[in-house]
Chains A and B, each alone.
Chain A
Amino acid sequence: MAAPFRSVFMTLSPGGLIRSGIAAPAGSVANARACLRSEHSSTGGRGVDESVDEYKYVERLVPPSRIPSPPKHEGSAPSGWTPPPETPPSLPYMIRRSRMHNVPVYSDIKHGNQKSTLVRKVEGDVWALNKDVKEFLQQLTGRETATQVNEVTGTVRIKGHFEKELKAWLIQRGF
């Protein structure tokens, strides 16, 4: 991938710029013709140096494509982000972190008034998670919350906005 980029850079090498710089102050026509002729000749004709060392200034600007792993924090970071523990909890289900290392709980609104919360990336027994979520929300709100389990995709959709509470609860459970 870097090779064609490099070759493009080579054609815009400092040789061409230096040549155009030298051609301007040359006053007479004969000198200008000599300059033009040297432009057509091979690159090493006028003692021009080619170097590819300056390419490192381009290379350091090219962005990475992979998301880096976050630095080590003891407990939660100042922003409120908590790193996932080293060992996963011993529960019948597992909830992976998203690719940006966050807990995969998202709130959703449809038609302006239908609020729901979605827990994604669930592996293992989704129904056990559903039961635990219902118990937790029963203690939180005092009434039964409607949930919808999708076993195929491994998601649980809960009626109402409980994003913050569910995120804190999942982090406290060890996900």
Chain B
Amino acid sequence: IYKSLFLLRLFSSFSGESALPSNLRLPPNLIGVPREKRAFPASTDLPVLRRCEADIPAHLAPVQTWLQSLESRHSEPLGVVDLHPDVFSVPVRLDILHAVEVWQRNFKRISYAKVKSRAEVSGGGRKPWKQKGSGRARHGSIRSPIWRGGGVAHGPRGPTSYYYMLPMKVRVQGLKIALTSKLAQDYLHIVDSLEIPTPDPHYLQDLAKHRQWGDSVLIVDVGEEFPQNILQATESLKTINIIPAIGLNVHSMLKHESLVLTLEAVKFLEKKLLWHDTRFTPLYPFKLPYSDLP
């Protein structure tokens, strides 16, 4: 589709140019070549297959999107599902998204760089020559920083930790914003279950290419058990990955181009993320039991 569009553009602007080389691969997210968008579901016509469990504020309406299936390459969307607006259509704060991404990269970082200072380098206790009379520059030790082989004056000192924590609500907001952006940019796909007919990795790649999911896909489901077929299919693939819903994070969502959630994963995420909007400040850490944790 893209090659033909590109060819048309070339022929319109330059007359008599040669055709595109056959080994040219255009990325699916090329700017200026829009993806074919399936028409977004109209709100009134289709029956809604899934409603939101949590209460929606009176002034907001649920966001709707297609429910797809991984059964076959050509299968049509099964219907329309409702998504909670406080998770999937929050105001997109890029500064919060940036802060959460940077935090995720750096809070685990410990840099082990360490160099010896002039006190730690062996030797250098004695004054090399007397202060006056030798004709040479005055020195106090042979390991001072201006000497060859001397210690480093202001080098990295010991393991340094870059640990810091952003407030819990900021991190939660970052997740909500990432989900919202994926939905808004048409990169979020809801699937009823992760059952695929073959454990062949080519099937998944073919499916993703046919449905224009993008270069990389992140598949999310709840629970520890996944169907064997999808585990085997994604094992050897580098760009299509599968994670449990507790492992969902902003960095992975930004790294992979499109996100595939199952219905249970959507329910889990809504429950966990919406709890933070109506919770008390912790009396004691949330790791300890409360009567109604999500």
Which positions in A face B, CB cutoff 8 Å? Answer: 1-2, 5, 59, 62-67, 86-88, 94, 96, 99, 123, 152-154
Contact = CB atoms under 8 A, between A and B. Distances in A.
A39 B283 CA distance: 38
A63 B291 contact: yes
A109 B277 CA distance: 27
A5 B290 CA distance: 11
Nearest to B276: A99
B58 A65 contact: no
Contact of A5 (B91, B278, B289): B289
A63 B59 contact: no
Contacts of A63: 280, 283, 290-291
Given A86-B58, A152-B93, A66 B289 contact: no
Main secondary structure, interface of B, reads loop
Nearest to A59: B291
A65 B280 contact: yes
B290 A64 contact: yes
B57 A66 contact: no
A154 B280 contact: no
Contacts of B291: 59, 62-65
B290 A1 contact: yes
29 contacts: A1-B288, A59-B291, A62-B289, A62-B291, A63-B291, A64-B280, A64-B291, A64-B292, A65-B291, A65-B292, A65-B293, A66-B275, A66-B278, A66-B280, A66-B292, A67-B278, A67-B280, A86-B58, A87-B58, A88-B58, A94-B59, A99-B277, A99-B279, A123-B59, A123-B91, A152-B93, A152-B95, A153-B93, A154-B91
A95 B37 CA distance: 34
B286 interface: yes
Interface string B103-131: 00000000000000000000000000000
A99 B278 contact: yes
A62 B280 CA distance: 14
B288 to A, nearest CB: 8
Which of B58, B95, B275, B286: most chain A Cβ within 10 A? Answer: B58
A96 B58 contact: no
Interface string B173-184: 000000000000
B289 A1 contact: yes
Given A1-B293, A152-B93, A65 B59 contact: no
Lowest 8 A-B CB distances belong to which pairs?
A1-B289, A88-B59, A65-B290, A62-B291, A94-B59, A64-B291, A64-B292, A67-B278
A19 to B, nearest CB: 28
A62 B290 contact: yes
Contacts of B279: 65-67, 99
Contacts of B293: 1, 65
Contacts of B275: 65-66
Interface string B232-272: 00000000000000000000000000000000000000000
Contacts of A99: 277-279
Contacts of B278: 66-67, 99
A59 B291 CA distance: 8
A99 B95 CA distance: 23
Contacts of A64: 280, 290-292
Contacts of A67: 278-280
A77 to B, nearest CB: 20
Contacts of A86: 58
A168 B167 CA distance: 32
Contacts of A1: 288-290, 293
Contacts of A154: 91
A66 B283 CA distance: 12
A96 B57 contact: yes
Interface in B72-118: 91, 93, 95
A123 B91 CA distance: 9
A65 B288 CA distance: 11
A170 B95 CA distance: 30
Nearest to A61: B291
Contacts of A94: 59
Which of A64, A65, A88, A99: most chain B Cβ within 10 A? Answer: A65
Nearest to B287: A1
A67 B277 CA distance: 9
